[in-house]
């Protein structure tokens, strides 16, 4: 009996995370990590940022923006190590660190987003 | 009995160098594309730090911006932007490789299949920028 693989599920998360990362991360990173810190554009104030983040739509957006790309990272990084470094004997450890790391990150993200006042 | 393994069973195998991907530009591009995931994870971490600072109040939020203005962090984020753009472009360009459309017997050009992805990218970017910048 072949063991049922959970690969399709992980691949689905990888794929959904890839779409979110491709569509949203470039603009997010450009604005928040470059344009605002370097003063090219005027950053939203604390109150404006809080208003954006705490709205129901803002919270859902942040959840999607954080959680799906984390699983995208886990899957792709796992295979980068697999193909690049050929550390197949550490397969179990690598899988645990990648998917486990993404799960911990996802729980942390959900907790933080829930705590936004 | 044969058992499914994720890699070939033990036996004679030629050892491939860890740096096998340096031999061709196409392989280097593949590894660079795969490495983009590290910068995706870094972006998520940065966003979580920002949310944490937002919860901490205006003073903590100010400290977060001071952190983002550090030259080392700026440099890291310039590299990150390069990698996430590489991810986006390679991701969007995958669609024509997966989908083959034929119109009157002729294969639709790759560009026509990838174009909707780029349109979606522009729309998403404009909407995010508008929401954040409208003040």
Portion of chain B with pLDDT greater than 70, in percent: 90
Contact B125, B84 (CB under 8 A): no
**pLDDT score for A49:** 95
Q: Could you say which DSSP state residue A83 is in?
A: I
**How far is Cα A77 from Cα A98, in angstroms, rounded to an integer?**
7
B16 contacts in A (CB within 8 Å)?
86
Give B 9-48 residues with CB within 8 A of chain A: 16, 18, 21, 31, 34-38, 40-41, 43-48
Q: Name the closest residue on chain B to residue A37, using Cα atoms.
A: B69
Q: What mean pLDDT is predicted for residues A77-88?
A: 80
B22, B31, B47, B126: best mutation site toward chain A, by most A Cβ within 10 Å?
B47
Selection from B59, B37, B55 nearest residue A108 by Cα: B55
Contact B6, A95 (CB under 8 A): no
Q: What is the ipTM of this complex?
A: 0.92
pLDDT at B95 over 90: no
User: Residue A23 is nearest to which of B48, B78, B124, comparing CB atoms?
Assistant: B124
For B14: left if phi > 0, alpha if psi spans -120 to 50, otherwise beta; the answer is beta
**pLDDT tens readout for residues A36-82:** 999 999 999 999 999 999 999 999 999 999 999 999 999 999 988 88
User: Residue A86 is nearest to which of B16, B124, B125, comparing CB atoms?
Assistant: B16
**pLDDT tens readout for residues B5-51:** 666 666 666 777 778 888 889 889 988 999 999 999 999 999 999 99
Q: What is the pTM of this model?
A: 0.88
**How far is Cα B36 from Cα A29, in angstroms, rounded to an integer?**
14
B92 contacts in A (CB within 8 Å)?
22
B38 contacts in A (CB within 8 Å)?
73, 77
């Amino acid at each position: 009996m072949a063991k049922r693989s959970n690969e399709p599920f992980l691949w689905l998360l990888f794929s959904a995370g890839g779409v979110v990362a491709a569509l949203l991360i470039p603009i997010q990173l450009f604005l928040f990590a470059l344009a605002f810190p370097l003063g090219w554009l005027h950053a939203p104030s604390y109150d404006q940022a809080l208003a954006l983040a705490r709205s129901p739509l803002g919270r859902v957006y942040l959840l999607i923006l954080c959680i799906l790309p984390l699983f995208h990272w886990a899957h792709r990084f796992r295979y980068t190590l697999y193909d690049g470094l050929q550390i197949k004997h550490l397969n179990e450890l690598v899988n645990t660190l990648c998917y486990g790391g993404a799960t911990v990150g996802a729980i942390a993200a959900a907790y933080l987003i829930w705590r936004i006042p | 009995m044969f058992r499914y393994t994720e890699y070939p069973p033990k036996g004679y195998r030629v050892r491939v160098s860890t740096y096998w991907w340096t031999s061709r530009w196409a392989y280097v591009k593949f590894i660079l594309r795969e490495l983009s995931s590290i910068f995706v994870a870094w972006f998520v971490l940065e966003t979580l730090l920002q949310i944490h600072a937002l919860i901490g109040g205006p003073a903590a939020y100010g400290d977060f911006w001071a952190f983002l203005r550090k030259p080392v962090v700026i440099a890291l984020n310039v590299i990150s932007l390069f990698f996430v753009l590489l991810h986006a472009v390679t991701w969007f360009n995958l669609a024509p490789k997966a989908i083959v459309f034929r119109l009157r017997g002729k294969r639709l050009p790759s560009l026509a299949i990838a174009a909707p992805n780029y349109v979606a990218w522009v729309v998403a970017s404009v909407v995010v920028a508008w929401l954040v910048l409208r003040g």
